[in-house]
Amino acid sequence: MVKSLLVFFCVCFVLYGTAQNNTSRQVALQSGIPRPKLVVGIVVDQMRWDYLYRYYNRYLNNGGFKRLIGNGFSCQNTMIPYIPTVTACGHTCIYTGSVPAINGITGNEWWDYDLSRDTYCTGDDQVKTIGGNSKAGQMSPRNLLVSTIGDELHLATNFHSKVIGIALKDRAAILPAGHSANAAYWYEETTGNWISSSYYLNELPKWVQDQNAKKLVDQYFALDWNTLYPLATYVQSTPDEEPYEYRPFGREAKGFPYNLKQFIGKNYGLLHVTPYGNSFTFEMAKAAINGEQLGAGTNTDMLTLSISTPDYIGHTFGPNSVEAEDDFLRLDKDLGNFLDYLDDKVGKGEYLVFLTADHGAAQVPFFLNQYKIPAGNAVDAAYTDELNKLLKDKFGSDKLLMDVSTYQVHLNRSLIKHLGLNKDSINKVVVDYLLTQPGVYRAFPLDKLNETTLNATIKTAVTNGYYPQRSGDIQIIFKPQWIEGFENGGTTHGEWNPYDSHIPLIWYGWNIKSGQTGREVYMTDIAPTIAYLLHIQMPSGSIGHVIEEVSR
């Protein structure tokens, strides 16, 4: 009898707990707040806005880009409102609605005057690699000073939502996902595997281990890389084998087709500069949706997805290359397949997608010069040696300059103070030197920005990028079409000009109407618009505005 009563009370206790759990789920379901099952942010690294239309006639009708343009809402005039326009800053801005002056991510790396050391944007030596043996996993979002939209989604659902970040680049996986992400995954070049950090978890989930076990990179390399269509049809590109293109696959590999079989099991880093990097990333995204059951619960989940390969191909071959065109044609196919997967797995109309870019890219100066368009390469590597000599002659020390990077000059502030030198005098020597260099349009001390006469657009961009303890002392602005470095080939980005700062922004899926706007909106508007659509708080450093037109 006693035993029977004991069993009865245990069963009641279990049923009570289950009822309580079901009640909490019903509250979430019956809250009356309409939300999508899943939010997917897709950032195409180094995608200029014009790529939507440059290859439009070659995109597939059932591919990705035409589907988004035709059925989604396109913000045709989306601009980045800060400099430098680089990967870490872009991914951070998209998901925080903030700018480097507030969120603290002032570049891919910077000299940290508080810590007196070089700092990589997501570097963290207090954590360890999960899933690999290299230091590539010693990363976290701790240098980010504000919350992301994923953090705010977690707060709004009392952390019942799941937020996952995925990208080949660590910074493109970590910074968008935010501080409270369930996990972020990025690529380890030495093994060809997806890895993570002990910041998030102690071991890779089984679904990630299973994905790594497929050795997809070897399978891709076995396919080699030839153009998707006959080479002669690539009329939107320069001829193959241009002299200013880098040759990542070997000195003799001057153009298509590229033999990738030789790298199987050897050089997994080369995945970056092939379109298979896109495919590899989308396959990981599908595995995450399935493995984590994203979009299958009673709360909205978020997947932040960055497509890194276009950036590597753009830097290596240039934006006008056959390689870049072929990459976007293949990306269109991969994107279409991924949207099909979302329709099948999550449900058509049940998920919200936005597609944008972290920055654009300049044309290769050598290419522009061929058509009499003024352009050039600023050999900034020489600035450091020459400035050190000038400063030593003038002030008696050759250690007053830290470095010249990310369009800024970093001075040794502590040494200047220790020696009792006049910083304004040092600034003047540096500025006077820079203004004599080819391609330099303006140079000025950042602490005198308010006293500097500049075009309003440029001045706003500089202001929004300036965080004193993580920024340099003197800003360099190059003339249009001039780029920093890359004098031996390829191209880069980072300035205020439209080719670097005009990006695509398309909304698609849940509660999104079809259409477009030509009014100027900004990268900072993305996060507050998501917050508006989800009825949650915008991130803590957000300065953007809601793009109301996107919603039905």
CB distance 300 to 35 below 8 Å: yes
Phi, psi of 217 (to 5 degrees): -60, -40
Q: Could you give the CA distance from residue 345 to residue 358 in angstroms, rounded to a whole number?
A: 28
Give Cα separations from 181 to 140, 207, 538 (angstroms).
Answer: 10, 18, 16
The alpha carbon of 465 is separated from its chain's Cα centroid by a whole number of angstroms, namely 16
Residues 6+ apart with CB under 8 A from 270: 221, 248, 249, 260, 263
Helix (H, G, I), strand (E, B) or coil at 152: helix
Q: Which residues are catalytic?
A: 87
Residue 464's nearest CA partner among 79, 102, 92, 144 is: 102
Nearest to 395 by CA among 423, 369, 374, 414: 423
Q: How far is CA 222 from CA 189, 260, 262, 412, in A?
A: 17, 7, 9, 50
In angstroms, what CA-CA distances link 52 with 17, 155, 357, 505? 53, 35, 11, 10
Burial of 454 (0-12, 13-18, 19+ CB in 10 A): middle
Chain-centroid distance of CA 327 in Å reads 18
β-pairing, 301-307 vs 163-166, is parallel
Exposure string of 224-251, with b = 16+ CB inside 10 Å and e = fewer, is ebebbeeeeebebbbebebebbeebbee
Q: What are 8's two structure tokens?
A: 């009865």
Q: Can you tell me the distance from the alpha carbon of 387 to that of 434, in angstroms, rounded to the nearest whole number?
A: 9
Q: Which of 222, 143, 141 is nearest to 174 (CA)?
A: 141
